Structure 1
């Protein structure tokens, strides 16, 4: 009888699809950087201060795998985890879109499915947590919009109103005018904002709201994991500068962000291709009158000095191979009798990327399972066609 979880791990490694299960079972490699991360998490949990980190590595060398390892480590330490991949639909220059993605990809400890809205749904308007949240939103944020949104959400009996306020908490913001109208209907009180909310300027308030909520709920902190950060480089100059500015909010968090650990995974080629290739420091000088260039420069400096994922040592690769053999056996219900020297020889000839080495090892094990031996691919004849040739008719192929 095959082991379902073992098969999931092997198939995820074969396809290259990120998996938290892989991060759980393959977490021993790169002990130095893992020691740094454990130290960071301990500080965030015990002291409550927030910090950020950038992890840089080549394509296929395990950046996403490392993020999944951090995911599991954070959950083991009673920390909430959000993990998102930056993309065209989730660009770092638009923080309000990042927040929406975060709301859909946040995992509470001991929960397999994402979701945190239930914590707001279970909040009683007279509870200690509700009172603490209202005090926080009234006094500690850049705008006081969230105070009126949250108080209205907790006290309305109208389901349409509650749904509208819920969508705001999830990042689909309702207008300031709508907030005033809802609050006046529920409490018969007029609203005067101290500072009008603007989703382009004040979205950080929503991240601060969640960080405070998680601490009140008894969690040790909040870990935000950002993958594919190098996609910033595909955007225009001003868009990149906005993205760097938003990165600075997470790499160098303000005090209102409570017990947050923010990690960005980025390709090591970003320095040469983008920072140097697109002359980011020179671009920054040209925009000094338009934006806060000091925080952007600090981000660029941090990327250049970021922790690099070095290639695994031979002993670390051997450890991974041994685990692959174990899980492959459990996944397909067989007892692999493998010549490690032959397997290592095949892996050594498969390229320098860790991802291709793993796939090569799985291919080797597949052949041993199916045929009891590993064959060699040979080319006997290469057939070539030209665009000018008429394709053969179906009948001639069947004869």
Structure 2
């Protein structure tokens, strides 16, 4: 089977399942030109070291949100950004910073590379000692824990110790290197008293690790990291405690994105109605973060929860429904992919009036199902029926949500 056929079949099967696919994205593109332009502008700002506001995208279910995110991820990688796509779920609730860190690191993709992003780009550092020195200089000035300055110092000094260097990279990804080992290695280079390794609980270091990761990627030749958080609406099934933690996490990402030189661009995506049903109405989660008139809390930390709420309440970028002309263009493109995938010629059937208000995902799956029948009987005119699926709104208890062992 030739490569083009395999690629076409992969695209069709992804479209049939309603999941994002690089193969489908590369051949279909996007009709969301306004959001595309806004995203490109944000990439340029982050790449130039400027602060920017995170992107928030809203769409009705099945109208191409995940496809747009896959398209945007491909855009970012072509522009030399590391990217990470993550779906909010019981396994990745936004309420745990350390779980978020590990998910972001695990899903990170480096442009033009395969495998673990940080390990792939780290190979470029050995040939550029000045870049690592620049990273250490950033760490000296940045408001991060001394632990990470120590780790970067060790990474620079122990060039021949591949095992230690791998452990340091794992620490940045959320698998902490023991303090005993760090102290021992510092002692070997006469720096035992140079760094304060007394640290808070691991979740409180998660955000520092994300900042270090972003800067690590930058000195390795990338422009920063773009992190996609999809399906925020799943937070609606979490407990109040977890939702509050989620808003606080969103607020931190907003705050760091608006920091010059951070090299971090978060993109949040949700279905239409999440804010009205959970943030401003019904549950009124925003009341948990009623403004006190100050920008920081009593412990000197920003009110991240309020920052997150305000970001979601602001006017999100709304996916536009494709025009009939755009829909027909998409249909012809998918037809061409289908014919290449299976080596057949298929017909375009008239669109039933009942499909007028259906989502583009629904229509794509209908077209593919019709062509499946035609492959076996070209004269057959299928009658495809479907029904909407109601999703459970039952609350997920805290015990069912992911809780990393390092969270305590």
Give the whole-Å Cα distance in 2 for the aligned partners of 1:147 and 1:121: 20
Name the Cα RMSD after superposition: 3.0
How far residue 187 of structure 1 moved from its aligned partner, in angstroms, is 3.7
2:333 and 2:193 mapped to 1: Cα distance? 64
Contact 1:50 1:260 in 2 (8 A): no
> Residue 147 of structure 2 contacts residue 195 of structure 2 at CA under 8 Å; is this kept in 1?
no
1:367 alignment counterpart:
373
- The residue aligned with 2:338 is 328
Contact 2:291 2:306 in 1 (8 A): no
Distance in 2 (CA, whole Å) between partners of 1:74 and 1:378 is: 38
Distance in 2 (CA, whole Å) between partners of 1:193 and 1:65 is: 46
Structure 2 residue corresponding to 1:24, chosen from 23, 26, 32: 26
Q: Give the 3-state SS of the residue equivalent to 1:358 in structure 2.
A: helix
Provide, for residues 194-233 of structure 1, a one-character-per-residue CA deviation record: whole Å limited to 9, x for no partner: 8735422232221221222222223233211111222222
After TM superposition, give the deviation of residue 143 of structure 1 in Å: 1.2
With normalisation by structure 1, the TM-score equals: 0.83
The reply on whether 1:279 has 2:284 as its aligned counterpart is yes
Q: Is the 8 A contact 2:49 2:260 kept in 1?
A: no
1:1-399 matches, cutoff 5 A: 3-46=5-48, 48-120=50-122, 123-124=125-126, 127-156=129-158, 161-176=164-179, 178-187=181-190, 189-193=192-196, 196-253=199-256, 254-255=258-259, 258-275=262-279, 276-285=281-290, 294-304=303-313, 305-336=315-346, 338-339=347-348, 342-345=349-352, 348-349=354-355, 352-377=358-383
Q: Which runs of 5+ in 1 are unaligned?
A: 380-399
- Distance in 2 (CA, whole Å) between partners of 1:233 and 1:186 is 51
Which portions of structure 1, spanning 4 or more consecutive aligned residues, are displaced by more than 4 angstroms? 157-163, 175-178, 286-294, 376-379
Q: How many corresponding residue pairs?
A: 375
| Cα separation, partners in 2 of 1:307 and 1:333, compared to 1, 3 Å | same
User: Which one has the largest radius of gyration?
Assistant: 1
Q: CA deviation at 1:71?
A: 0.9
More moved, 252-261 vs 271-280: 252-261
Provide the C-alpha distance between the structure 2 equivalents of 1:201 and 1:131, rounded to a whole number of angstroms: 26
Deviation track 1:326-370 (CA, whole Å, cap 9, x = no partner) reads 00000001233x24xx34338x53861221111001011112222
Deviates more, 1:175-184 or 1:105-114: 175-184
Q: Which deviations, in whole Å up to 9, do the C-alpha atoms of 1:236-282 show, x marking residues without a partner?
A: 22322221111112223252652322101112121233212212122
8 Å contact from structure 1 (residues 50, 258) kept in 2: no
TM-score with structure 2 setting the length:
0.82
Q: Which range is displaced more, 110-119 or 152-161?
A: 152-161
From the superposition, tell whether residues 182 and 197 of structure 1 become closer, same or farther in structure 2 (CA, over 3 Å).
farther
Report if aligned partners of 2:122, 2:220 keep a CA contact under 8 Å in 1: no
